[in-house]
A = this chain, B = another copy of it.
Amino acid sequence: MPQKIVKLTVKDVRFPTSLGQHGSDAMHTDPDYSVAYVVIETDGGMKGYGLTFTVGRGTEVVVCAVKALSGFVVGKTLEEIVGDFRGFYRLLTSDGQMRWIGPEKGVIQLATAAVLNAVWDLWARAEGKSPEQLVSCIDFRYITDALTEQEALDLLRKAQTGKTEREEQMLKEGYPAYTTSCAWLGYSDQQLTQLCTDALASGWSRFKVKVGAELEDDERRCRLIRQMIGPDKTLMMDANQRWDVGEAISWVTSLAPFRPLWIEEPTSPDDILGHATISKALAPLGIGVASGEQCHNRVMFKQFLQASALQFVQIDSCRLGSVNENLAVLLMAHKFQVPVCPHAGGVGLCELVQHLILFDYISVSADLNNRMCEYVDHLHEHFTSPVVIRNAHYLPPKDPGYSCEMLESSVETHQFPGGEVWANLLAKAPE
């Protein structure tokens, strides 16, 4: 029986993380981790949950954009949508009027992600998708010079070999993760030392540190971490777009003695040629370049790959146009043989992206070399099916859906500005 979507609601939900400097980096000094939280409902009483991640102010703009997209969703059946998912994707991203305010970037693409994440959540309850079905979800417009539909299908069919074994392996071992929780820029050395000690005790072997504000601070913090984790464990650095191209090269060269695997977001997320220049300069030092959490669509990822500008592709479940666009990027990355190491953390990003990276291993890349998924240890308690981490690995989610349903009580108390948490905080604010 077809499920007709009869309602879409969207809420502005914010967590006051800036109070503890959680999530702080060189460019985002006081983030309040937030989501535009979408619930779609069918006439048959089914619900789909979706979200996109934001960092506080501006969430209301994304909420407004979700409302603007709502008319494309409400009134359609799930069968109509997934029966021509590419067409539906294009309806949302290429409407003759709405596309002007993008196209396929920024606020409107974040809103598209939130809406489509909810559609995928609804769809995910029905199991088993063939390579043909998956390819039919991808909009190949603007990427056929790098990946055609036929190539995509061939890659997926080829990866059917060994799929069952990889599924079993993942259920047993989980997918390797790294932690960003120890070394936010706003943390003191003492806090950093404590968190690092705890993480080592819990079995973590891959650590990311925020850099880019002051070189001396970076050197001190990187030395501290490298000393604590020893020479054999993995260290990554993240500058969150702080530098210009030349500055990135010289700054990272100064930090090379601490042997980072990658430097993440050394400059503008739009600067493909800049990243290529940085990659080339840092290659002799054995340092790769990673980026993607603010890479706004598949056309940008295509060029990063074409230009050999990235050695690590960091997909994001909420920046790109949901599973549809992430599939395109996973397949292109596989074709170009660049490892995918997803961006996560935020609110619900771990919950969402675990599905994508497990799919990547099981059904696309069949490779774990130089691959790992980011993990940040906060705000999971607000989800009905939070991620399960065991021995620094993501264990595959077992509940049906896309894992981003939040607890009703969490949504209610954190709605901005009326929920209890914000009402209290705003009452205490200086002005």
Binding site for B on A (CB under 8 A): 27-32, 54-62, 64-65, 68, 94-110, 140-145, 241, 244-247, 267-274, 277, 294, 296-297, 299-300, 302-303, 306-307
Contact = CB atoms under 8 A, between A and B. Distances in A.
Contact of A144 (B56, B245, B307): B245
A145 B245 contact: yes
A57 B95 contact: yes
Q: How many copies does the complex hold?
A: 2
Contacts of A60: 64, 68
Contact of A97 (B56, B145, B297): B56
Contacts of A241: 103
A7 B307 CA distance: 47
Contact of A274 (B58, B98, B142, B297): B142
A65 B306 contact: no
Nearest to A106: B106
Contacts of A307: 273
B268 A142 contact: yes
Q: Which of A97, A103, A105 has the largest count of B CB atoms less than 10 A from its CB?
A: A97
Nearest to A300: B270
A105 B270 contact: yes
Contact of A27 (B29, B55, B94): B94
B296 A105 contact: yes
A27 B97 CA distance: 9
Q: Which of A29, A98, A145 has the largest count of B CB atoms less than 10 A from its CB?
A: A145
Contact of A142 (B107, B271, B272): B271
Given A106-B102, A108-B107, A244 B141 contact: yes
Given A65-B61, A68-B60, A106-B109, A274 B145 contact: yes
Given A27-B94, A101-B110, A145-B277, 6 more contacts: A54-B101, A55-B97, A57-B97, A101-B106, A106-B296, A142-B268
A99 to B, nearest CB: 7
A65 B68 CA distance: 13
Nearest to A24: B96
A323 B303 CA distance: 29
A272 B142 CA distance: 12
A297 B140 CA distance: 25
A245 to B, nearest CB: 4
B64 A28 contact: no
A247 B143 CA distance: 12
A375 to B, nearest CB: 20
Contacts of A99: 27-28
A62 B98 CA distance: 11
B97 A269 contact: no
A233 B325 CA distance: 44
A302 B270 CA distance: 10
A268 B299 contact: yes
A84 B109 CA distance: 32
Contacts of A97: 28, 30-32, 54-58
